[in-house]
Amino acid sequence: MTAALFLPAGCSMLDGARNERLAYVERPVEQLYNDAYDQLANRSYQNAVLMFDEVERQHPYSEWASRANLMAAFASYQSNRYDEAIEAARRYISLHPGNDETVYAYYLIAISYFERIVDVGRDQGTTEDALAALEDVIRRYPDTEYAADARLKVDMVRDQLAGKEMAIGRWYLRRNQQLAAINRFKTVIDDYQTTSHTPEALYRLTEAYLSVGLDSEAEKTASVLGYNYPASVWYGDAYDLMLDEGTSLGTKPENRRKKILGLF
């Protein structure tokens, strides 16, 4: 027997309808799936999720069921219900680990985390989850278009995590907790050296070393900054900072901040 969801005239499936009893009429599974797809096309995402779930419930061993499972995950993602999207995608992976479409399930999990990344002032647990999921796509399917997009997003995620370390490091500096700040800036340099935050991290590290009397470490760090980023304004700052301490670095800065009334 085949079945599809039936809605009386004037009724609609709202968020709370997921837990309500629904009436059914017999229809071919293809029609049920197509009706669900029409809901998706019309951006009635929660209706689409309910109807795709019904395809899977009524015909669990059919080809349509596996398609519906993945489409339900996509519809949940489109409606910003990321936890539901992740759950549905993981269920698809567990049921169909060898399918050609499984790569998209992994990718859907990754972007469901990625879309929830918050600013650096807040906890970055979701950002770390996004990084792990994106790297999983790259590792499992390195030659796919999904891996190519994941690589771009990995760069963005790593920049976000580096930004969080920088924010904490600056916070420690403002409170004269230089050793704690040094650890944060070294994390950026060691773990996120290809991000946009590295030049500032090297400058802040130079600054922190000088403040605790580690002049030779400060000079080495400033020199690394000058060698790798001679055109960065952060190197111009480091060069001037070391000059104020009586040390002239070998590499001349290519860029300096404009000073206004003696302030940066």
pLDDT band at 132 (very low <50, low <70, confident <90, very high): very high
For 60-118, list the strands marked E by DSSP.
none
Contact 186, 206 (CB under 8 A): no
pLDDT digits (tens, 9 = 90+) for 200-238: 999 999 999 999 999 999 999 999 999 999 999 999 999
For residue 6, which phi and psi values (nearest 5 degrees)?
A: -125, 130
pLDDT digits (tens, 9 = 90+) for 153-167: 999 999 999 999 999
Is residue 182 one of the residues assigned to a domain? no
Is residue 73 one of the residues assigned to a domain? no
Is residue 176 one of the residues assigned to a domain? no
Is a pLDDT exceeding 70 seen at residue 26?
Answer: no
Q: Residue 236's Cα: distance from chain center in Å?
A: 32
Strands 23-25 and 4-6, bridge-based pairing: antiparallel
pLDDT band at 81 (very low <50, low <70, confident <90, very high): very high
Share of the chain above pLDDT 70, in %: 87
- State the total domains in the chain: 1
Is residue 16 one of the residues assigned to a domain? no
pLDDT band at 91 (very low <50, low <70, confident <90, very high): very high
Region of poorest pLDDT, from 4-8, 86-90, 103-107, 222-226: 4-8
Is a pLDDT exceeding 70 seen at residue 112?
Answer: yes
* Burial class for 51, CB neighbours closer than 10 Å (0-12, 13-18, 19+): buried
pLDDT band at 252 (very low <50, low <70, confident <90, very high): confident
Enter the DSSP assignment of 251.
S
Question: 0.85 exceeded by the pTM?
Answer: no
**Model pLDDT, residue 21:** 37
Mean pLDDT of 180-185: 96
Domain extent, residue 252, equals 197-264
